[in-house]
């Protein structure tokens, strides 16, 4: 109560009973005496009514401070409270649109980062090969060869601004994350963001200049973009951010299309590929249930074959080939054009490494096909859209086309598993709970005091609340990624732009295809009834502080 008395600052000559009477008079006249230019008198003193207003407001601020002090005492007991909260399953399937698995008769899969599990070493390999190509072929300075991939810097779901050269993390509604805007490797301040963009919200015209970095290969790309920009800044050289993007993108594409990265992976599969018997178990289970399976990938057949044999060699057993698991295998599909083009399928001769010229009007067992289109695929298979589910990691190349074509879609997001583990951790939930109660108190404070009435008492409490909120935000962010925080969330607890695209294009999402083994093949997957946006998010309620 001492804190309350200090904050109220009542004149010693004014009886405390008069505060309530002033408040009643003020309320009876519609909330403010200022338009009446009146004064209230007592036997002991005379106060102008705008001074009474200030006293009343300081009293309201004092109440909020009291709640803040009580909450800080509650912080000491919260760790016990969060232990009783339910934890999300890191290997769970999370549902954006209701899905009945008993209606699914056909399962389709991408290869890279869907069936194939890669180690983090692959990002460094792609990064190194791309930077070497930029130096050797595009004549970038040889000092660029000293660049080193930094796995602690990028996350998936960033956007690169081709006009201004910034890497941006956007929220669900297209606003720039205040601590998620980098020019090169330097984080920009809020003031710098406003100087460049005018506002944190990205408008439609500005959005046309953004490139989304959404697949798992984008880690190398995002890091290389930032490093090249930083190099030009440090060298005090003028540059066009669009040209940098074009060169980095061409280098990354060359690494894939030339086969450099494929040869690198197959030359040392133990370094880059992760063996995975569970995915074989999942595919075998589907076959035994009478489901149809197909593989649709942009990678060349020899690369897929080498990877599948390595990953499954300890689990295949009697099988002569992993191809027996699939009714149709399509390589070099050229997604996303596959979904909109009318390219014909070509039969691939594995022995001669050539494409045949005969027309493909049926998919034969144990054969490999190249190119093609969704239109031809549906004509040949007669597989109707709603009975097909397609698994992929790239929200644009893999899932946007199938989603628009009527297929059901499953996004494979490897980061999901680790991020759920972090969200389940008591330390994270403790900071999250602190953040929510402070946010609630700040909202109450701003709603109580108008801009023109912000006194020293208000300013002091506002600064304290903002400091505590910032500390909680920074602690939560560092648990994920020191530069950009969580993949699915912004620092303020809102869903990210990456979460938006998952919500838009994925019926369900999970960390690995084989997580479906945890569910019966006839399961009905439902959107949680209390869902706001992303079903794997659990937010610690601020009421935990009040119930302690």
Whether 507 is catalytic: no
- 3 state SS of 239: coil
Considering just the CA atoms, what is the radius of gyration of the chain in Å?
30
Task: Find the catalytic residue in 50, 102, 110, 467.
Answer: 110
To 5 degrees, how large is the angle CA 280–CA 281–CA 282?
A: 90
Q: How far apart are CA 304 and CA 300, in angstroms?
A: 6
Q: Around Cβ 479, how many Cβ atoms within 10 Å? A: 17
Task: Find the catalytic residue in 50, 58, 112, 234.
Answer: 112
Pairing mode, strands 166-170 and 158-161:
antiparallel
Tokens at 104, concatenated: 């699914």
Is residue 110 part of an annotated ligand binding site?
Answer: yes
Residue 265 in contact with residue 217, Cβ under 8 Å? no
The secondary structure of residue 26, as a DSSP letter, is H
Three-state SS string across 362-429, please?
CCCCCCEEEECCHHHHHHHHCCCHHHEEEEECCHHHHHHHHHHHCCEEEEECCHHHHHHHHHHCHHHH
- The sign one gets for the Cα dihedral 527, 529, 533, 535 is negative
Whether 112 is catalytic: yes
Is residue 249 part of an annotated ligand binding site?
Answer: no
- 3 state SS of 330: strand
Residue 167 in contact with residue 222, Cβ under 8 Å? yes
Which residues share a beta bridge with 201? 175
Is residue 393 part of an annotated ligand binding site?
Answer: yes
Buried b (16+ CB within 10 A) or exposed e, 183-206: bbbebbeeeebeebbeebebeeeb
Maximum alpha-carbon separation in the chain: 108
- The sign one gets for the Cα dihedral 239, 241, 243, 247 is positive
Which residues share a beta bridge with 40? 47
Residue with tokens 């969704």: 374
To 5 degrees, how large is the angle CA 28–CA 31–CA 36?
A: 85
- The sign one gets for the Cα dihedral 491, 495, 496, 502 is positive
Q: Which residues are annotated as a binding site?
A: 110, 112, 393
What residues are annotated to the active site? Answer: 110, 112
Annotated binding site for GMP: 112
Which parts are annotated binding residues for Mg(2+)? 110, 393
């Amino acid at each position: 109560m001492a804190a309350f008395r200090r904050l109220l600052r009542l004149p010693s000559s004014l009886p405390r009973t008069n505060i309530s009477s002033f408040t009643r008079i003020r309320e009876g006249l519609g909330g403010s005496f200022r338009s009446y230019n009146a004064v209230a008198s007592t036997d002991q003193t005379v106060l102008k009514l705008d001074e009474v207003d200030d006293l009343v407001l300081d009293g309201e601020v004092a109440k909020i401070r009291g709640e803040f002090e009580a909450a800080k005492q509650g912080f000491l007991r919260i760790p016990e409270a969060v232990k009783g909260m339910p934890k999300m399953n890191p290997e769970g399937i999370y549902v954006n649109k209701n899905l009945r698995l008993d209606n699914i008769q056909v399962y389709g899969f991408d290869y890279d980062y869907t069936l194939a599990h890669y180690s983090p070493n692959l990002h460094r390999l792609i990064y190194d090969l791309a930077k070497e190509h930029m130096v050797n072929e595009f004549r970038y300075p040889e000092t660029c060869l000293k660049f080193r991939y930094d796995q602690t810097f990028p996350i998936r779901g960033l956007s690169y601004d081709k006009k201004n050269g910034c890497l941006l993390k956007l929220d669900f509604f297209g606003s720039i994350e205040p601590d998620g805007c980098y020019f090169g490797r330097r984080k920009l301040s809020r003031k710098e963001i406003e100087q460049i963009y005018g506002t944190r919200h990205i408008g439609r015209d500005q959005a046309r200049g953004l490139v989304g970095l959404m697949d798992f290969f984008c880690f190398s790309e995002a890091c290389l973009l930032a490093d090249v920009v930083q190099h030009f800044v440090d060298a005090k050289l003028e540059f066009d951010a669009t040209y940098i993007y074009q060169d980095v993108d061409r280098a990354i594409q060359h690494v894939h299309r030339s086969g450099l990265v494929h040869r690198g992976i197959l030359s040392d599969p133990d370094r880059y590929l992760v063996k995975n018997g569970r995915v074989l178990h999942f595919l075998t289970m589907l076959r035994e249930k009478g489901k149809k399976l197909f593989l649709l990938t942009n990678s060349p057949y020899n690369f897929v074959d080498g990877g599948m044999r390595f990953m499954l060699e300890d689990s295949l057993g009697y099988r002569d080939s992993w191809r027996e698991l699939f009714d149709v295998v399509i390589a070099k599909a050229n997604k996303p054009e596959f979904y909109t083009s009318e390219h014909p399928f070509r039969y691939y001769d594995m022995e001669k490494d050539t494409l045949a010229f005969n027309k493909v009007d049926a998919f034969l067992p144990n054969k490999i096909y190249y190119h093609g289109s969704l239109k031809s695929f549906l004509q040949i298979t007669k597989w109707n859209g709603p009975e097909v589910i397609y698994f992929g990691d790239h929200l644009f190349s893999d899932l946007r086309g199938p989603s628009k074509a009527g297929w059901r879609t499953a996004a494979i997001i490897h980061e999901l598993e680790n991020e759920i583990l972090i969200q389940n951790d008591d330390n994270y939930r403790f900071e999250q709970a602190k953040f929510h109660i402070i946010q609630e108190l700040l909202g109450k404070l701003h709603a109580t005091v108008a801009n023109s009435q912000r006194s020293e008492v208000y300013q002091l409490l506002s600064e304290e609340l903002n400091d505590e909120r910032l500390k909680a935000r920074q602690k939560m962010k560092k648990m994920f990624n020191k530069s950009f925080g969580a993949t699915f969330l912004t620092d303020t607890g809102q869903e990210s732009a990456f979460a938006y695209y998952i919500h838009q294009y994925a019926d369900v999402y999970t960390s690995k295809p084989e997580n479906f083994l945890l569910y019966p093949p006839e399961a009905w997957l439902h959107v949680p009834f209390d869902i706001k946006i992303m079903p794997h998010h659990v937010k610690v309620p601020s009421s935990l502080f009040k119930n302690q």
